[in-house]
Chain A
Amino acid sequence: MPAVKRPTRLVVDRTTKPIMPRYLKLRHDPGRDRWVLLAPERILTPDAIAVMVLKLCDGERSVDDIAAKLAEEYSAPVDVIAGDVVELLQDLADKGYIKG
């Protein structure tokens, strides 16, 4: 086997530019009126805010950019939001659903 670069854990901070791998599918599930993130052998059910975060994970926006957008939307302090977004994305990265 040729030498393969060993992948490492993504540690999310406010400068991370998170991206959702193409093989994940974020879809509205009309029968149950909820959003689902379809992944290998898993179905995730993100809430409305998590959906908004996931839609912004395009590999170009940083966590700070995403937090700023949410702060505007929800009229909430950006630092608090950034902390929550880091926490959410770290959890998703540890499950393999977000790359940096």
Chain B
Amino acid sequence: MTEDLKIDGHVDSIAVDDEPTTGVIGDREESAILCAVAPVGLLAELTHRCPLQCPYCSNPVELESVKNELTTEEWCSVMSQAGEMGILQVHLSGGEPTARKDLEEIVKTAADAGLYSNLITAAVNVKRERLEKLKELGLDHVQVSVQDVDPGGAERIGAFKNALEKKLEFARWVTELDMPLTINAPIHRHNIHNVPRYIDVAVELGAQRIEIAHAQYYGWALLNRAALIPTYEETIASIEYVEAARERLKGVLTIDMVVPDYYAKRPKPCMGGWGKGFMNITPAGKVLPCHAAESIPELNFDNVRDKKLLDIWMDSDAFNAFRGTDWMKEPCKSCAFKEVDFGGCRCQAMAISKDPRNTDPACSLSPYHNEMVNLAKAEAAKPATAFVYRNTRNAAQVSKAHGEVFEPAE
């Protein structure tokens, strides 16, 4: 990563480059080259348990059961190893990470290992005392998901009573404790009209950051696509609003936006490149190049129970499968942007074209692109289908149905 360093004696070249740490598409050219030696970011999915049942969830439909979860010692070992191998940031996610009673120990070990820690929480079941304790133990940043800024919408989307009220209360505790707060706004057809109010709420709360995260159609969200996908026109209007707000709120609120790539012309540089800067660990310890990678059937994943994290990063078949550009087919292979977007998302290529080596269909050069856009537009034009809520009953139903139509549980 030495090319990023511009050390010379001249003050006129003071430079600060920034890298996003979770594959978020930020303002301007932030998809900078990521470290080739070791990853900079680790997404730790501590559990698949969650009090909410959001249909846009990006977890795999097959949810991991509690009995398979890594133990406290195993997660703490992961944190220590992560620090030693040069990982800089850890995102504690799930499911709902606070469902783990040992979150405190994991946070403390992460802090001791020098990791910058980020708690990604639904924030409906956490007491103020627990947040204070986590801060004391070294938690650096808190991200709260808000399903809608309308109480009724939030309750319906997450299937949790009074969710919004609880979330806003928790978010205020975060800023009162002088911790940085991110509001995560998962956007789809049921709340896209509220993007402006989301931004107002984030400013009122004193948040540092908001993620306007258009749903990405993997896992549960893919299953619910016809229930969630907004129209092209609504999408464009929301993007334009965000771009204007970003300018207006410069220095007040950082607005990151994950664009809905069904309506994009160019694919997103997914994870900043496969096996380039990030790794993801599932509740049962499987190490993935991205959180949706299990949707690619040909990949085999190593487990932190069997191998050292660094060895997995360096040698795992799953990480090596799509590293660099040698695996590419046309039109990626001869494309001028192949080192910029890395062919986009492997999981989306798999989901739409059934071959993970194809160009991401979000790219206008993909032969599947028009099909995908038309599919999205056709689904968005129809009334939204009923939610298939993310819960264990529906997970069991889906696995029984093997892709056939089934009646979702209420």
Contact = CB atoms under 8 A, between A and B. Distances in A.
16 contacts: A9-B251, A9-B252, A10-B251, A40-B118, A40-B143, A41-B256, A42-B18, A43-B21, A45-B4, A45-B18, A47-B6, A84-B14, A85-B14, A94-B251, A95-B254, A96-B252
A41 B24 contact: yes
A41 B20 contact: yes
Contacts of B11: 49, 70, 74, 76, 80-81, 84-85
Give the interface residue-count category, chain B.
Answer: 35 or more
Contact of B203 (A6, A87, A93): A6
A43 B140 CA distance: 13
Contacts of B15: 46-47, 50
Interface string A53-86: 1000000000000000010001010001100110
B19 A42 contact: yes
Contacts of A6: 203
Nearest to A81: B11
Contact of A96 (B6, B17, B209): B209
Contacts of B250: 9, 94
B116 interface: yes
A52 B314 CA distance: 34
Interface in B353-384: none
B21 A42 contact: yes
B1 interface: yes
A23 B12 contact: no
B92 to A, nearest CB: 13
The 9 closest A-B pairs by CB, nearest first: A31-B86, A9-B251, A38-B116, A40-B141, A44-B18, A23-B180, A94-B250, A46-B16, A48-B7
Interface of B: 1-2, 4-7, 9, 11-22, 24, 26, 35, 37-38, 40, 85-86, 88-89, 114, 116, 118, 140-141, 143, 168, 178-180, 182, 203-206, 208-209, 250-254, 256
A43 B16 contact: no
Given A6-B203, A74-B9, A25 B256 contact: no
A87 B20 CA distance: 22
A72 to B, nearest CB: 12
B21 to A, nearest CB: 5
Most buried by B among A1, A32, A41, A81: A41
Contacts of A96: 208-209, 251-254
Nearest to B208: A96
B180 A43 contact: no
A37 to B, nearest CB: 7
A4 B14 CA distance: 36
B179 A23 contact: yes
A9 B247 CA distance: 11
A40 B209 contact: yes
B88 A7 contact: no
Nearest to B6: A47
Nearest to A44: B18
Contacts of A23: 140-141, 178-180
A76 B14 CA distance: 14
Contacts of A80: 11-12
Contact of A27 (B14, B114, B118, B205): B114
A41 B21 contact: yes
Interface string A3-23: 010111110000000000111
A41 B5 contact: no
B1 A38 contact: no
B13 A32 contact: no
